[in-house]
């Protein structure tokens, strides 16, 4: 074999080795194929949504049929605009993309207690974000194309108006969970605290962290929260607790570059946790098994 052919063969071999090494590196990252095969993080797979960008306000709301709806930024022929995305988080099958009558920015989405209406409210800081100059609009779950203005008095709204919430003394972030038998308070400006329905403290789950996402509680009784991970790892983390006694059930330490973009949410049966991420105009939804 001539010298030139030997060099070409060596270069090709090095390229193959490099490609294999890169594939292995990607595969070993959180939710990569090696990670899934070995069951290290508990990731079960990832679905992809092109032209979708979630934000910290993009809290998924269940529609009662296995699908959820999220307020996101969507790519349109006229650029990026706020809208509602309906999808099945298990399969990634979309049920529709609906433009919102907003003047930019991803607003907060709240589901009525009876599950029939959705309130889309401006952010806490930015008000008068609707096209009519209002602070919120409301729509029917069964028809996400028609919107009506809705008055909102509380700028720090954390639930659909009229939904029972804990007393103000527990802070604006406090919510009832576990069918009203527990209160989950704090998280960003205060430590994350678990209390019983009478306000008796059960456990401090985590220190306050403005960068942490709102906690999600499954019907099976597991609290999940996404928060920044250790600086030396370079990825975010998931933590889990028991809603009854506050005992920590486990955690997932994300690999370098694994960054959450929106609050995690549970499947209807509580068997899976979905974690939204974003990458170059694409929403990635990782699915993890419950601890």
Mean pLDDT of the chain: 87
If you average pLDDT over residues 69-96, what whole number do you get? 94
3-state percent breakdown (helix, strand, coil) of the chain, nearest 5: 10, 40, 50
Query: Given this model, what pLDDT does residue 2 score?
Result: 58
Please report which confidence band the pLDDT of residue 9 belongs to, taking 50, 70 and 90 as the band edges.
Answer: very low
| Mean local confidence (pLDDT), 14-21 | 37
**DSSP-assigned letter for residue 147:** E
d(CA 54, CA 266): 17
**What is the spatial distance between Cα 25 and Cα 180, in angstroms, rounded to a whole number?**
45
Instruction: Name which of 40-54, 131-145, 274-288 the model is least confident about.
Output: 131-145
Could you tell me which residues are beta bridge partners of residue 53? 73
d(CA 39, CA 31): 9
Continuous H helices in the chain: 3-28, 33-38
Topology of domain 31-289, CATH? Neuraminidase (2.120.10)
Helix (H) or strand (E) holding 66: none
Q: Residue 20: is its pLDDT beyond 60?
A: no
- At 135-171, the pLDDT tens digits run 899 999 999 999 999 888 776 788 898 889 999 899 8
> Which pLDDT score is estimated for 260?
94
**And the tokens for 265?**
């949410």
pTM above 0.75, yes or no: yes
Q: Residue 13 pLDDT > 70, yes or no?
A: no
Report phi then psi at 26, rounded to 5.
-65, -40
- From CA 233, how far away is CA 24, in angstroms rounded? 18
Q: Does residue 24 have a pLDDT over 70?
A: no
């Amino acid at each position: 074999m001539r010298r030139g052919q030997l060099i070409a063969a060596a270069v090709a071999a090095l390229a193959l080795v490099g490609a294999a090494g890169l594939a292995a590196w990607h595969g070993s990252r959180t939710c990569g194929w090696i990670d899934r095969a070995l069951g290290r993080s508990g990731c079960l797979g990832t679905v992809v949504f092109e032209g979708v960008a979630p934000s910290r306000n993009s809290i998924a709301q269940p529609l009662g049929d296995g699908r959820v709806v999220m307020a996101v930024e969507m790519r349109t022929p006229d650029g990026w605009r706020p809208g509602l995305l309906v999808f099945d988080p298990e399969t990634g099958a979309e049920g529709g993309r609906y433009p919102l009558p907003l003047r930019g920015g991803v607003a907060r989405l709240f589901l009525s207690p009876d599950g029939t209406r959705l309130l889309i409210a401006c952010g806490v800081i930015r008000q008068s974000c609707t096209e009519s100059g209002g602070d919120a609009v409301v729509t029917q779950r069964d028809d996400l194309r028609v919107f009506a203005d809705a008055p909102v008095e509380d700028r720090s709204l954390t639930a659909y108006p009229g939904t029972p919430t804990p007393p103000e003394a527990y802070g604006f972030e406090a919510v009832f969970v576990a069918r009203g038998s527990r209160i989950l308070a704090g998280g960003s400006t205060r430590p994350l605290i678990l209390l019983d329905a009478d306000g008796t403290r059960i456990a401090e789950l985590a220190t306050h962290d403005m960068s942490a996402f709102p906690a999600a509680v499954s019907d099976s009784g597991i609290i999940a929260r996404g928060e920044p991970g250790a600086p030396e790892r370079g990825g975010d983390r998931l933590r889990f607790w028991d809603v009854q006694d506050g005992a920590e059930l486990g955690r997932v330490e994300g690999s370098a570059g694994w960054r959450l973009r929106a609050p995690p949410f549970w499947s209807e049966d509580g068997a899976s946790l979905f974690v939204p991420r974003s990458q170059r105009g694409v929403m990635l939804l990782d699915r993890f098994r419950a601890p």
